Copies of this chain bind each other. A is one copy, B any other.
Amino acid sequence: MKRKVTLKQIAKELDVSISTVSRALSNSKEIGEETRQKIQAFAKFYNYKPNNIALSLKNRKTKTIGILIPEIVHHFFSTVIRGIEIVANKRGYNVIIGLSNESFSKEVINMEMLANGSIDGFILSISKETLLKQDYHHFKETISQGIPIVMFDRVVNEVDCDKVIVDDFKGSVNAVKKLISTGCKNIALITTMDYVSVGKLRTQGYLRALQESHMNPKASLILKLDDSLALEEHLDILENEIEQFFNSNTKIDGVFAVNELYAVTAMKVARKLNFNIPEDIQVIGFTDGVLSKHARPSLTTVSQHGQKMGEQAAHLLIDRLELDDDDESDTYIDENEIDSDFKTVVIETGLIERDSTK
């Protein structure tokens, strides 16, 4: 077991000082040609690599970014991670992952763990419980400690930071308009409780689309489901809920669902009730994941472009990190300047038309 070789060991072995070794390896021309060659050869032979931790301590930056998400077994989130990882790696950063599991306390704990020097900045999506409690102190404290945050998808106005979102509102409007334009008269909405920002926006989009087409929204056409039903374990309950919903609204000829699972379940129920898709009922979902492609019939969805969101988020964060490098000067003057230029990047959604619509 040959431990990694350090500068000190090289120095001792070659009978020079540590600083000479360090300089020789960084090709400083302060060191004589001969010694430099000797040191570099020795270092290469013993496969010297500088210790990251020591560098982090010295430079006061870790070159790693922390990702904090509610759940990882989730197509959307994992595509975002992939996006982040790609640009992070390309720009010389590592990513470290924390899962909140939709829990407020886990989010706080994780955040504090990583904020103690482990990472340079955060990219995160807020947990449901946090959104419910509307307690954002941990984000604000982290930011005030000089650790930048970039939020994606589930964001919140109360926190000043860079954000990356999709236009949930516009995406929904377009989806519902598509249903309208293909003849739907009674479009149902299957959504979640309002507290998760994205659910709310998608609901608003649905309403706006109806309004713009001079159609009256009916409460009976809106099904609000508890989030826990989205868990795989409660599939049957979800199915029952939707079946009841369908049965008490026989005229439904279009469904807009705020996520993939609701949409495919709606299709399943519709078929069970002997509706034909898309002839009798058309269905559109939000979030383009694996299910949409393989459902029968394949599902028309609003695509969120998770990977692109991740890439954008990573760029935003790293840009800010490297910008901060220069202004280490502790100039209090331009704090306002800096505060004010937080960006919110909006990723365009797309409507991927498949077989569940005409």
Report if A244 contacts B (CB, 8 A). no
Of chain B, the residue at the smallest CB distance from A71 is B82
**Stretch among A34-42, A94-102, A203-211 lining the B interface:** A94-102
Say whether B1 contacts A144, CB under 8 Å.
yes
What number of copies of this chain does the assembly contain? 2
Residues of B within 8 Å of A62, CB to CB, are 53
- Point out the residue from B53, B89, B114, B118 that lies within 8 Å of A117, measured CB to CB: B53
- Point out the residue from B1, B3, B56, B291 that lies within 8 Å of A294, measured CB to CB: B291
Say whether B1 contacts A146, CB under 8 Å.
yes
A169 to B: closest C-beta gap in Å:
26
Question: Which residues, 74 to 107 on A, are CB-close (under 8 Å) to B?
Answer: 74-75, 78-79, 81-82, 85, 89, 94-99
Say whether A72 contacts B78, CB under 8 Å.
yes
**Stretch among A15-23, A44-52, A247-255 lining the B interface:** A44-52
Report if A229 contacts B (CB, 8 A). no
Say whether A57 contacts B49, CB under 8 Å.
no
A89 to B141 CA separation, bound complex (whole angstroms): 22
Residues of B within 8 Å of A145, CB to CB, are 1-4
Question: Which residues, 88 to 138 on A, are CB-close (under 8 Å) to B?
Answer: 89, 94-99, 110, 112-118
The interface size of chain A toward B, counting residues with CB under 8 Å, comes to 55
Residues of B within 8 Å of A64, CB to CB, are 96, 118
A50 to B116 CA separation, bound complex (whole angstroms): 7
- Point out the residue from B1, B89, B96 that lies within 8 Å of A94, measured CB to CB: B96
Say whether B99 contacts A97, CB under 8 Å.
no
- Point out the residue from B1, B49, B81 that lies within 8 Å of A97, measured CB to CB: B81
A326 to B290 CA separation, bound complex (whole angstroms): 47
A144 to B295 CA separation, bound complex (whole angstroms): 48
A78 to B73 CA separation, bound complex (whole angstroms): 5
Of chain B, the residue at the smallest CB distance from A114 is B94
Residues of B within 8 Å of A235, CB to CB, are 293
Say whether B293 contacts A296, CB under 8 Å.
no
Given contacts A1-B146, A54-B117, A291-B291, contact A82 B75 (CB under 8 A): no
10 more contacts with CB within 8 A, not counting A232-B293, A291-B291, are: A3-B145, A4-B117, A4-B145, A49-B116, A50-B116, A51-B117, A53-B56, A54-B57, A96-B97, A294-B295
Complex A-B: 13 CB contacts under 8 Å: A1-B144, A1-B145, A2-B145, A3-B146, A47-B141, A49-B115, A51-B117, A54-B57, A72-B81, A75-B290, A85-B97, A264-B294, A268-B296
